[in-house]
Structure 1
Amino acid sequence: MKLHCPRLRAVTQLAFRTLFSLIFLAAGAKHLLAPDAIVGRLVEAPGAALVSALASPKLLVVLSGAVLLLGGLALLTGTLTRWAAVALFAVLVPITLTVQVGAAEGMGPLFKNVALLGGLLHWAVEGGGAFSVDAWLSTHPRLRLPLVGAVGVLTVALALPALAARPPAPGASARRGADATERVLFLVQQPPQLKAALATGQQSLAGRGFPAREVEVLVCGPAITSLLAGDVMEARLAEAKQAGIRVVACGLTLTEKGIAPDKLSPSVEVVENGLVEALQRQAEGFRSVEL
């Protein structure tokens, strides 16, 4: 039986558009509020080399975050819906190709993005529907141009903090790493996060992304098993230590897991209490990033 009810169709469009926008709002907010965590994932992505060749990973993360957030707001309100869908589509395609294709997480995130691309195509063609700002603007066409200008100004305002974080000039990486005053502590709890923290730390010490003169990685929780001698991460731990990263294991977690300290990689140090260690480092002026 085929239902033909314009009002029902308008209501379902509103529900679909509202619920669909939430994933872009959440992703955009995370890109802007916690860019370092996203950068850590980006530098470990299958297409990381291509991303780094284009621009600073942090710049790309913040710019894409601005588009995701504004695009999500536009979908939520039905404002310039078709243009918002096209902009989100343009951002989502490179993210999918560089981060999701061939990712260790499997096919789930890839097909999630494929589904989102299908939804964006729908809104690019369909428009905002009856219950939308677009529908209201159709009766107030003179306000459309000022609204487009306001969206452009807002996009620039969100992106301005990232515009200063340009890639270093050729030959400047070593100098920036030596002159950096920041000290960074990564708090790692899950095994996949350790790899990202080590890679980001090495980049920081080399003066790329967020330059730092000192980097420590504090490991607690399930990630502690990645520090065992003979684990697949042992070579990475040795490489990180050689680069100047101090990797520390929480003694309380070792006791809880029944792991003897001598079972850990020789590249790892042990502290009695990871929480106390983190507090001490923060008191000493370290910037802490919890993954």
Structure 2
Amino acid sequence: MSLHLALEVDGDGADVAALTAHVTAAEAAGFALVTIADSPLPPADGSVRIEAGVRAAYLSRRTTRIGLAPTLHASVTEPFHLATQLASLDHASLGRAAWVVGAESSAAAAATVGEPVLTGSDLRREIADVIDVARQLWDSWEDDAVIRDRATSRFLDPDRVHHVNFTGARFTVSGPLITPRPPQGQVVVIGADTLGVTSRLDIALVDTADTAAGLGELTERTALARADGAALVFADLPSADASLLRHLDGVVDGVRIRVADIPLVTDLLKTRPPAGPTLRDTLGLPRPANQFAVAG
């Protein structure tokens, strides 16, 4: 089998050393990326949670190959700051950043930012708007915008930095971003196939039961996700199941697993695609052309 492996790690707790050990073990085992769970609400048990984007930034300088994908909730995060944080993560990790699109929409979550609860088509529109403006902001600097021309004392070429001027249903953004274009061009965008924005995702996550009984539904939903435009589809599994993993080879492009026993997973999946210099390279995703440079 040759499936990409992703590991989901819990966002709760303050044991950063344990988190680092877990992620570096996954990197050594050949996992393509790690996703970091998060919530806009504090842990119910009163423990400390370090925001997923901060954890990913910390891990970026303690890892070398594995992709880092914090969960940032589009429903309760300011879009400009979200795009900036992810672009900065891609620079810090030298091209290994990804974003798990969160969509927490409970009344308690909405209250953290003083906004009304979004549901149905309103929530889908908000998620789509945030993804769209993030992609535009990442492209607001062309790849060669930073020229560092000492002779003329110019750091950048202003003609290669573009204003976005995006108007969404609930917000407006006037770019450009304050961070140069990410090394990958576009951070890898990951989200559930149930969000209603599959065409905007690089990786669609399709959840399934931890038995082969759910294979038919998973296969059908995978086909729908591909038809809707997802470049890659990962099965989202609660744990490793040898029988199911064998059936998934050739159906999906990878699996995301919530499991602490990394050797168990790697024993089941002997062959994995090699890591590339960036997460996009590892996943076989092309580096996107800059939409503003193409338009120009």
| RCO comparison, higher one (Cα < 8 Å, 6+) | 2
Structure with the higher fraction of residues in strand conformation: 2
TM-score w.r.t. length of structure 2: 0.29
Larger gyration radius, structure 1 or structure 2: 1
TM-score, with length taken from structure 1:
0.30
